[in-house]
Structure 1
Amino acid sequence: MPFARLAAATTPTCRIGLGLAAVGRPGYITLGRERDLPADRTVDALRARTHDLLDAAYAQGVRYLDAARSYGRSEEFLADWLRAHPEIDDVVIGSKWGYTYTANWTTDAERHEVKDHGPATYERQRAETAALLGDRLDLYQIHSVTPDSPALTDKDLHARLAEAAAQGLTIGFSTSGPAQADAIRAALEVSVGGEPLFRTVQSTYNALETSAGPALQEAHDAGLTVIVKEGMANGRLAEPHAPEALRAVARETGQGCDAVALALILRRPWAGVVLSGAATVPQLMSNLHAAAVDLDDEQLARLATLAEDPRAYWERRAQLPWH
């Protein structure tokens, strides 16, 4: 498991990773994006922003970096950065397949990505990822598995993924939607030759959406590394959108709402890596303060009141505009 390398890291931020969804493409659904990124979001501008974030993250002890085929040019930007720093050999690189980016570098496309979990898409995107990241790729994840995903039952696909695992690639999956727990539990049952296929799971979990928690504990107990995404709920837990209960705890700790929101996840015993989705270096630095936030039981109880019904949470997320 490549994540064993993180266990040897000594920095407090080694359990915080950097996700590139917000900077690998000009359009995304994070609130406040108009302030975070320049109006002229050229390929070169976002490449430079991505490299600035990677430089800062690595300097601060971040060692897991997360991309996806559907995150625009995120794999390309990451590959460029790795080539510019051949001395860096202690990072864990993860990417995902299953969505095809279709926005053609615009913010107003009718569809920004198209989902397909079939073997043909896997083979095409695996080749595309390999062309960019080569043997630097450690982890390849099925992007956004839901309970009805054919990726859970397609034996041909499972055999292809098992072949990649036999060649040294770690195979994982991510989840989305109100039935994340069902998808996680179904994926835990997938095996090839009597051996579990998946070694990692990446799920949405934050102060507003906690429904996957028990299933993530089960995945952890089964030996999977748990990666948490969308810890900031696409900006809903950051200033100025954060609910008052979160703001109050932030004031008490002397940290930002973002640091407290991520610290809440870091407290979960099953959380292996918690992703920052920062779009600016100051955001990243504030996110990394989560490693130093100490929440007491009373503060944790107040934050627990923020949890929403998962169906309502995902309905609201679906209504966030791409911008």
Structure 2
Amino acid sequence: MLLKGLPRIGLGLAALGRPGYINLDRTAQIAERSEEAMQQRAFEVLDAAYAAGVRYFDCARSYGLSEVFIRNWLAEQQQLVPGDGQIVVGSKWGYRYTANWQVEVPGGGAHEVKDHSLEHLNAQSAETLATLGGGGGSGGNSYLKLLQIHSATLESGVLEDEAVLSRMAELRDAHGWRLGLSLSGVAQGKTLRRALETGIFDTVQATYNCLEQSAGQDLLAAKEAGLEVIVKEAMANGRVLRSPPLLAAAERLGCAPDALALAAVVQQPFEPIVLSGAVTPSQAESNCEAMALAESLRGTGEVEALMEALVVAPEAYWQERSELAWN
């Protein structure tokens, strides 16, 4: 198992690798957005996350310079040994970054463009390999251990494309990578069920949080089928932190709202690694408190009550997410 034994909070670089993202209140948290400033910010957050116990780091070709930032940070960590399994890096192919290092794309243009073709897999896997290195067939000398399809959907046809799936298997064998897919949208569960039928995936990454819980049973089925689960957007891009029931529960329990939101996901039976989306060191430190908090709340009924109070219909959740502004 790739992720077994790693701490249950990981760090996603979706918001750290590029100047613009859809998280709420981003402008108040990040002032300077140059490449140099964003790399320095990424280093500060990576330092804090590592010190707090994070050992899984998640990036993607479409997350701006996320692969470059994690590579440069790892190069400075003299205490780490590539390939020893203490640090695991995952990346994704399938979206092309098109924002040209802008917070807002003129004319409302796209920040990233989906392309699940074989040609794009070949191009982006080569770019990832050049940036982060190969895993090596027998453990290797790289931190990169996981290659994921970025936001696989039934509509894109990627799970029916035998050429793509065969090529991913070739990359797995050549570089020692594990294979995964990330999911998005109201059909996450249905897409995951189809992915399980292919038999080639080792991990699944899905959106799951106090608001959007629709994929829960399918994630549990995936775990029981032998896949490891990673959860993204566990704070719903910041939306869950504006929920009165969450804020009230955090005040009553004497904990930070962000830690409680993440702890509720950590405690789920599919045993995920839950990605922090921190963009400041203090956020990373607070997010990591979720690991101890989840254990302290186990068996109290607090998490179950919170999940019941906050859940919304997936259609409403994804519609609201689609309306979030890049900032």
Range class of TM-score, shorter chain: over 0.9
Q: How does 1:98-113 map to 2 (within 5 A)?
A: 98-109=94-105, 110-113=109-112
- Of 57, 68, 76 in structure 2, the residue corresponding to residue 65 of structure 1 is 57
Which residue pairs with 1:215 in the alignment? 218
Partner deviation per Cα, 1:212-262 (whole Å, 9 max, x = no partner): 000000100000000000000001122xxx211101110122111111100
User: 1:46 is matched by which residue type in structure 2?
Assistant: M
- For residues 206 and 20 of structure 2, the distance between their equivalents in structure 1, rounded to whole angstroms, comes to 22
SS in 2 for 1:121: helix
1:51-95, Cα deviation, whole Å (9 max, x unpaired): 111111111111000000000000000111111124313200000
Give yes or no for the alignment of 1:31 onto 2:38. no
Q: In the alignment, does 2:89 pair up with 1:93?
A: yes
- Residue deviations 1:94-115, cap 9 Å, x none? 0001000000000111110000
Does structure 1 retain, via aligned residues, the 8 Å contact 2:147–2:177? yes
Q: Distance in 2 between matches of 1:302 and 1:132?
A: 42
Separation in 2, partners of 1:303, 1:162: 38
The 2-side partners of 1:299 and 1:133 are apart by 38
Counterparts of 2:239 and 2:289, CA distance in 1: 18
**Whole-Å separation in 1 of the counterparts to 2:312 and 2:114:** 27
* TM-superposed deviation, 1:322: 0.3
- Corresponding residue of 1:173: 181
Q: Retained in 2: the 8 A contact 1:250–1:257? A: yes
- Report the Cα distance in structure 1 between the residues aligned to 2:240 and 2:284, rounded to whole angstroms: 15
Query: Deviating runs (4+, > 2 A) in structure 1?
Result: none
> What's the counterpart of residue 160 of structure 1?
167
Percent of residue pairs bearing the same amino acid type: 49
- Counterpart in 2 of 1:45? 37
Q: Is the 8 A contact 2:210 2:306 kept in 1?
A: no
Number of residue pairs matched by the alignment: 307
Residue in structure 2 matched with residue 277 of structure 1 by the alignment: 277
Would you say the 8 A contact 1:19–1:277 is kept in 2? Answer: yes
Normalising by structure 1, we get a TM-score of: 0.93
Aligned equivalents of 2:270, 2:302: Cα separation in 1: 21
Corresponding residue SS for 1:145 = coil
CA distance in 1 between partners of 2:253 and 2:11 (Å): 24
CA gap 1:83/1:302 in 2 versus in 1, 3 angstroms:
closer
Rounded Cα–Cα distance in structure 1 between residues aligned with 2:220 and 2:270: 5
Pick from 302, 309, 314 the counterpart of residue 310 of structure 1.
314
Deviation at 1:298, TM superposition (A): 4.6
Is the CA contact (8 Å cut-off) linking 1:246 and 1:303 kept in structure 2?
A: no
Contact 1:228 1:271 in 2 (8 A): no
* 1:193 counterpart residue number: none
Distance 2:179 2:102 in 1: 31
Structure 1: gaps (5+ residues):
191-195
User: Does the 8 A contact of 1:245 with 1:303 survive in 2?
Assistant: no
* Structure 2: 5+ residue stretches without partners: 135-141
The answer for the alignment partner of 1:18 in structure 2 is: 11
Q: Deviations over 1:124-173 (max 9, x none)?
A: 00011111100321000000011222211000111101111222110100
Residue 305 (structure 1) shift: 2.0
- 2:150 alignment partner in structure 1: 143
**Contact 1:249–1:299 at 8 Å: present in 2 too?**
no
SS in 1 for 2:119: helix
Q: 2:227 aligns with which of 205, 209, 224?
A: 224
2:92 maps to amino acid: K
Partner of 2:251: 251
